[in-house]
Amino acid sequence: MKFCDRLFEAAKPIWDQYHEHPFVTGIGDGTLDIEKFRFYMIQDYMYLLDYAKVAALGVIKADDEKVMGHFAQITQGILNEEISVHKSYMKRLGIKEEDVKETKASSVNLAYTHYMLAVSHGGTIAELVAAILPCAWSYWEIGKKLDENPDARHHEFYGPWVTCYSSDEFAQAAIWLIDYMNELAEGKSEKELARLEEIFLYTSRFEYLFWDMSFNKEMWSFEETRRIEV
């Protein structure tokens, strides 16, 4: 059994819930409330900027030229391809750059991106890959699953989202990360593997929380009764 099979099995109880989440199923059948999607788009745009930084740290942490090139390609894919899908949705939704700049990260977004950044800054290249693998891999899984419904990619609003995450380019990045994770795991002790699994499960949980936060348009899960000046 390859290490990523072990990761997949361990995360299955979490990942299965992505596919059932009303935010995800709503994109698939086109019933998702646009206001929820708008909330998600702005938060996810911010998320992608940090995700790109983590991918760029892959260039820094890797020693092998080929691996550096792959991380550079993933960084470019996020910043120039994936983000262009977001930009086009933002245009359709009338979201301006200033709106994004003025929006603060939600609690889940902030916790997720900062966890990924901390692991990637402080950890090994294997830990960095474990942290970002659920992002690339689970979105690809979701894209593929939604694309099983032949209408999904043709939906007038949600179609481009489904097309992006079920695309060959997106798949290639996910597949390379899976293969690289398997390669990095070879010869590692059980203690090291357990640490990688722990990181993978943490970011898998954050992925679920990101869907849920978006569905509920949740910034922080409590009301601030006293005004706090920031």
Ligand X SMILES: Cc1ncc(CO)c(N)n1
* Catalytic annotation, residues: 207
In the complex, minimum distance from the CB of residue 190 to ligand X, in angstroms, rounded to a whole number = 29
Position 210 contacts ligand X (CB under 6 A): yes
Name the residue number minimizing CB distance to ligand X: 135
Which stretch in 6-14, 42-50, 178-186, 190-198 sits in contact with ligand X by CB under 6 A? 42-50
CA–CA separation, 203 and 65 (whole Å): 27
Position 44 contacts ligand X (CB under 6 A): yes
Beta carbons of 77 and 173 less than 8 angstroms apart: yes
Q: Which is nearer to ligand X, 203 or 229 (CB)?
A: 203
In the complex, minimum distance from the CB of residue 223 to ligand X, in angstroms, rounded to a whole number = 25
Q: Which is nearer to ligand X, 81 or 192 (CB)?
A: 81
Nearest to 116 by CA among 91, 136, 96: 136
Q: Which is nearer to ligand X, 117 or 193 (CB)?
A: 117
Q: What residue type is 34 in one-letter code?
A: I
DSSP 8-state assignment for residue 150: T
Nearest to 123 by CA among 61, 53, 184: 61
Q: Give the torsion sign (CA, 47, 163, 36, 222).
A: negative
CA–CA separation, 118 and 129 (whole Å): 13
Position 135 contacts ligand X (CB under 6 A): yes
Position 39 contacts ligand X (CB under 6 A): no
Q: Which is nearer to ligand X, 131 or 152 (CB)?
A: 131
Q: Enumerate residues 79-98 that contact ligand X by CB under 6 A.
A: 82
Residue among 3, 47, 180, 200 that touches ligand X (CB under 6 A): 47
| 164: number of Cβ within 10 Å | 18
CA–CA separation, 140 and 12 (whole Å): 15
CA dihedral 142, 145, 150, 155 (to 10 degrees): -20
Which stretch in 19-27, 41-49, 60-68, 187-195 sits in contact with ligand X by CB under 6 A? 41-49
Please tell me the count of residues contacting ligand X according to CB under 6 A. Answer: 8
Position 139 contacts ligand X (CB under 6 A): yes
| Site of interaction with ligand X (CB under 6 A) | 44, 47-48, 82, 135, 139, 207, 210
